Structure 1
Amino acid sequence: MDNSESESLLLPESEKAEDPDGDPDVIALPGAEQALLGVMARFERFESDPATDRLHVLTWVGKGLTPDELAEAYRRAIARREQRRDDRPVGVKFLDRLVGDVLAEHDQPERGARDSPWWESDSGIGAQGKRVHVARRPNESTPEYLVRVTKASGKGPWIEFVLKQWQGTSRYQQVIEFLGEDLLPVDFYAS
């Protein structure tokens, strides 16, 4: 019996992400968070509060940020501070803006003009899912998988694509709630 249509996009509490050993308190890939924290510890002009900055670090892990990309974002942050003759240390919020720039540059794969964006093909969605560490569930349809990959990928043109794809369906409101207000376009009004 196939009950995939009745399966919810939102996971029940018992199925929330855990590490492979089953520890529910571990919400990042093993070593990924520590790798980024290790890079951050080497930044000379960096001001950090580990308790409040962890959300940013985990978001970066989810977006697939590498230690080299984090170092590049920090280099750019220092360059901007020096350009403006600003002696303040770099904070995580300022660094996050530059992380976004670095990731956006690296998300632009070299491709011909006729190739489509990742969110328009099953293979592209699968590749992006791996990049943002979202595994496809058994028997999960491509549109449902795309919703989860889209959420993990953060803001971008894929959000509007997903909303248009689900508009007019019985699960449209559920998709909107799953994505969350922060990812919805500024001018978005649920219809």
Structure 2
Amino acid sequence: MSLNAITWARHQKVGKGPAKSILMALADYASEDFEAHPSIETMQGWSEQNRKTVISNLKYLQDKGFIVDTGRRVGKTGSIPVYRLKNPTGKRVEVGPPDELSTSDTKSGTSKQSQKRNGTENGTVPNSTGSSTVSDSKQYRKRPGSSTENGTQNYQLTVIEQKEQCADQKTVGAPTSKFERFWQMWPQSPRKVDKADCRKHWERHNLDVKAEVIIAHLQAMKLTKQWKDGFEPAPETYLNGKRWEDGLPPTEEQLAARAEDAEWWLDASATERKGAEMGVRARNAEEPVPYYRVFVAKACGRGPWIDYVLKHAEKSGSPKFYEWVRTQLGDALLPPDDYAS
């Protein structure tokens, strides 16, 4: 699992909720090079979509440029495609696929900022041993004045900063332990207490080996609305509950989409998303939403949407349309007290 890939994926504007779910599933299984090869069955279990819908959404993501088929195949039978997650705009980004990062120096493969910081011209102490007390794992930091492109929050990968921090620490003295980095990164609030107990828990469970995952998750959580509003847990609660294994909460856009989908039959976009989820063909450009809604309602079976499409057809003033709706739904889905006029 790559937290870098998950953070990138969850901020993409895909345009379809079910397709976004498949993109998140791929990101959940992606390596650090943004390549993933979960099977269709795995993505079905992850997204709770049927096989036809998963395949349809994979094609949608490819058409929109969010993923590409590398042409490689893996698995026992050599039939599982390997996909690469990709920024559809083609622009350089600061968190995303490795070959699209704006922080990379494509000629040397190293950061220009890092080269500048590690030089002797600016007064810092160069690393003569070739090693660092700070891990080169990737973490996220929101850059001051960062903008949003294609719905992607620009987070600065702090590999550079960790090397800078290492140089600074050599200048002033003692290095920072992984626990201290965790503690310093935790937001200041009345719940930031019991440092000694947290340290004991950290050492007892040897969390140094998971420090980079924990710190990357902490950085991402600090950017969520919940934590920004001051609803972060106490550090000890976070550690005891292994909260870094819970993943990241849904974005505000995802929550809004879920609210719409709760009563999907009342909204045109939500109806189309529900249709894709249920394996109903895509709505034709010239097809009125009320007609398409009937096919989606039929695929969903009994529910309040059936009453809605019937009442809507009845109020349309078109007996022909009303009879067409009744015929499409069939006797099995008509309410017991529904009678043809």
Larger helix share, 1 or 2: 1
Larger strand share, 1 or 2: 2
Structure with the bigger RCO (C-alpha within 8 Å, sep 6+) is 1
